[in-house]
Amino acid sequence: GIVAFNNAFHGRTLFTVSAGGQPKYSQDFAPLPNGISHVAYNDLEAAKAVINEQTCAVIVEPVQGEGGVIPADIEFLKGLRALCDQFGALLIFDEVQTGVGRTGALYAYMNYGVTPDVLTTAKALGGGFPVGAMLTTDKFAPHFSVGTHGTTYGGNPLASAVAGAVFEFINTPEVLEGVKHRHQYFLDALNTLNAEYQVFDEIRGQGLLIGCVLKAEYAGKAKDITTWAGEEGLLALIAGPNVVRFTPSLIIPEQDIDEGIARLKRALAKLAK
């Protein structure tokens, strides 16, 4: 079987929506494939209880995106790597949200020093152009002979060229170090704002994937905040009902962060009324 995690999001194909750990996305696709177990994220003991000789793969996000912008603990990912090695299972990292520089490394696994056997990547891979890819280590790549992983539009030459150009731009010290700098600048600004409004219980994430967790008294208000932010000309996302999510451009200027914080401040003022 396959082991996945609660509150995960992996996509909307029949398999990926089943591997995802949010019933609100999968319930309307029934009957779902069997053989997928879900356990608590960041809980290594729970994973140990279900990973065994019958496990063929473990799929995990290094940072849960839709699930609330929750970074994995390093010991959790190291433990999954060890369990997969012990039982001969594949370790799959879903880096569709975290990949291509988003966390300040080219891929988030590099922040942890834990290498998966298979990695999925998309979204930023095309810089806005539709493209996705699955990467494997040299050990497993030979098992994919020509035609075993084909799709009608897979391997599109234009998409491949775009992805190559994106890598050339993003996989540079200037961009990746810039993401780390902007992360700290954005975090400091959010913490300063929160010191005034006392809305967020925690501000977490990696690089420019940042989640602001609402305090209990504001539970369920994330959508309201993003709506008000939109009225102020600020595009923000939710990651569940209690987390406001920010994923700005990797090269966002500091003055744009300042302007965004000013607009967020006006949105939070509406919440405080």
Question: What amino acid positions are annotated as catalytic residues?
Answer: 9, 94, 123
Kindly give the pairing relationship between strand 243-246 and strand 209-214.
antiparallel
Which token pair is 201?
């219980």
Q: How far is CA 160 from CA 67, 126, 141, 145, 250, in A?
A: 30, 8, 18, 19, 21
Nearest to 197 by CA among 273, 255, 259: 273
Q: What's the half-sphere exposure (Cβ side, CA atoms, 13 Å) at 13?
A: 3
- Structure tokens, 38: 């879900």
Token pair listed for 139: 């050990």
The alpha carbon torsion through 249, 61, 224, 124 (nearest 10 deg) reads 20
Q: Which of 8, 33, 36, 41 is nearest to 22 (CA)?
A: 8
